[in-house]
Structure 1
C-alpha cells in the first residue's frame, strides 16, 4: 500500500483481510465490503447495560461490562431490542491494524433512518466511533433504538467502518476546485469553507406537497434484516406543506426530511456528513454520515441524489425554515478508485434518491 493519504477502497479492504489486519469469526457476506467501507456484523449476544459508557484509557469493554451489564440476550435466533434501552454487542469482526491505518465508524443509512442510535467502541477507547491507527483488538457496538423497537440477530449489519491512511481531508480551496470540476452539490452559489459544503433543508415538498415524515410512538417491531416488510402508515406520520415554508420540530420527536441540494460524490473521493454544529440550532441532523464514491454519480445511475436527513429536536421546540443550513459535507481523497461504485454496480438502495424512508418500508 502506498504512503499517500487517503481512504481505503473495496479492494484494499479485502487486502486487509488477506493480510490478517481484519479478521472475522465467520466468512464474510458477499456484499459486506462497500466501495469505501466495511459493514460490521453483530455477534452472538447482546449485553443490556444500565447506561452508555466509554472504557477509558486503562480498561477494556469487557471490564466495564462486568460492572454495568444487567443481563445477556442471545441473538442467534433473533431478539427484540427495546426503545430507550442501551445494549452492547460484541461484533464478528476484529482488528489488527498496521500502524499507518486508522478507522472511523458510522451507522448505516438504514440504521439512521430507523432512529437506531449506534456507536462503535474499542478497548481503551476515550471516544466513540474512532479507531486509532494500529489498533489491535475486538470491536463492540452500542445500540439504542430511539423510536421503534427492533428485531436483530447474529450477522445483522447496523454499522459500517471506513479505513484511512493519513489525513486526506480536502481544505476549502481543494473542495472548491473539486466542486468546480465535478459539481459536488447542485447549488447556484455553494456555501464552501474550511468546515465543508453546507447542506440546507427542503421544506417545499414534492409534487404532492410531501415534506417528510415524523416517527410514530408505540409501534410494532421492525426487523432490521427484512426489506419492504412494514407498512409506512403504521410507523410514520406524513408531513405536508400547507402553505408555509417552515416546520416546528417538537422536542424529542424524530423526523425524516431531505436536503435542498442534490449531492454528488465522484469515484475518486468519499464524503461524510460531519457531526451536528450546536451553533445552528437545538437539534441533531444525520446519524448516518458516510457517502460512498459513486453516490449521485451519473455513470453509476445517480445524476445527483438528495441527502436524506434524520432530524431530532432536543430540549425545546425549534422552527426550521426552508433553505436553512442544517449540516456540512466534507470530502476525502480515495487511495484508489473502488472496483465497484455506489449505485448501479451494487444495486444500492438509495441511489438517485429524493425523500425516502429506509428499505424496511413498502
Structure 2
C-alpha cells in the first residue's frame, strides 16, 4: 500500500474498509457487517485461549514464544468457555495486521467489556507496551483477558476490544476534564461479588439485581471502598465533534486514588446534535485502589484527550444503532433495564 501525503490523524471507517480490502487488516474469516465503527475496528476472539500464571510483554520474542513460560492450560473457544474472575488469559484474535510504514495502531477495551469489569489489553509480537502497535507491524495480534469482579462466558467471535489505526504522529488537540455526577436520587452502581457468570454475547439477558447494588445520593458524596468496582456517570454531557475522536485517560494519578474508565475510546459524533444525541453522558468505570476515597459531586475523575481524524467518517457514532448513544447512567448492554 502506498500512502499519499495527508494530514496526520486517526483513520475513519471508509479508510479502514479500504485497509481491509488492501490486506492491511486481515482476518481468518470475513468481517461482520457492523464490525467497522466510525473510527475503529472491533476485534474478535479466535479459536483458542490459554490460562496463564501471569501477565507478560513479549519484548524480544513473539507472544507465542513467551507464552510457553507461563501457560497453564489451553481453552477451546469454539463452543464457549468461562474466563474466571481473578485469573489471567491470553487469547488469539481473528484479525491480524500488515501495517505499512506511516501507519500505527492503538487498542482499547470496548465499552461493554469495561462496564463488566473485564480488563483487556492488546499484545503484538516483540512489543514492550500493551495496546500500542508499532508503525509497520506485520503479524498476529492477541488479547490479554483478566476478569476482575465477574466471571464471563465468551466464545469465538466475541468482541472484547477495538483498534484504531493512525497515520503519522497524531497531535493532541486539547483535553477536557470529566467530573462525576452525584446529584439526583440514583447516582451509581456497585458490583456484587460472588455473582453468576455474564455471557458476553447475551444482550439484555441478565437481571441487573443479581450483579449490581444501586447507590443513592448522600449529600453529594460517595465513599469508594478499596477493591470495589463502580459504575458512575459524568456531570456534564460529552460531545465528540465529527472530525475528532477522543480517548479517556485510563489512569491519571493527579485526580485521585482510583482508576477510571477501562473503555477509553469515544467515536466521532458521540453526543452531537447531528447524531441526535445531545446530552449524552460519559459512563465511568471506577475502581478504588489501596485506601478509601471520598468522592464529591463535580469532582474531576478523568480527562478526555481529543485527536483529529484525517477526514470525516461516512457514518457517525450511533447512526446505525448503538446501545449507548444518548446515555445517562447506564449498565452494559448485557443487562435488562432495572
Output the TM-score relative to the length of structure 1. Answer: 0.90
Aligned pair 1:55/2:58, yes or no? Answer: yes
- Where do residues 1-362 of structure 1 align in structure 2 (5 Å cutoff)? 1-56=4-59, 58-171=60-173, 175=174, 196-205=175-184, 209-242=185-218, 244-343=219-318, 345-362=319-336
The residue matched to 2:64 in structure 1 has which SS? helix
- Contact 1:169-1:330 at 8 Å conserved across structures: no
- Contact 1:45-1:72 at 8 Å conserved across structures: yes
The residue matched to 1:337 in structure 2 has which SS? coil
Query: Post-superposition shift, 1:204?
Result: 0.8
Q: Which runs of 5+ in 1 are unaligned?
A: 176-195
The residue matched to 1:44 in structure 2 has which SS? strand
Q: Distance in 2 between matches of 1:104 and 1:253?
A: 28
- Contact 1:11-1:339 at 8 Å conserved across structures: yes
- Contact 2:110-2:161 at 8 Å conserved across structures: yes
- Contact 1:202-1:259 at 8 Å conserved across structures: yes
Post-superposition Cα deviations, 1:198-252, rounded to whole Å, max 9, x if no partner, equal 11111113xxx0000000011111110110000111100000013x111110000
Q: Pairwise CA RMSD of aligned residues?
A: 0.9
Match of 1:185 in 2: none
- Contact 1:295-1:304 at 8 Å conserved across structures: no
Q: Distance in 2 between matches of 1:138 and 1:245?
A: 48
The residue matched to 1:59 in structure 2 has which SS? coil
Query: Post-superposition shift, 1:297?
Result: 1.1
Query: Post-superposition shift, 1:157?
Result: 0.1
Q: Which runs of 5+ in 2 are unaligned?
A: none
Large movers: runs of 4+ above 2 Å: 167-171
Query: Post-superposition shift, 1:32?
Result: 0.3
Output the TM-score relative to the length of structure 2. Answer: 0.97
Aligned length: 333
Query: Post-superposition shift, 1:279?
Result: 2.1
Post-superposition Cα deviations, 1:41-71, rounded to whole Å, max 9, x if no partner, equal 0010110000100011x11111111111000
Q: Distance in 2 between matches of 1:198 and 1:123?
A: 35
Post-superposition Cα deviations, 1:154-182, rounded to whole Å, max 9, x if no partner, equal 000000000111233344xxx4xxxxxxx
Q: Distance in 1 between matches of 2:189 and 2:252?
A: 23
Q: Distance in 1 between matches of 2:50 and 2:282?
A: 33
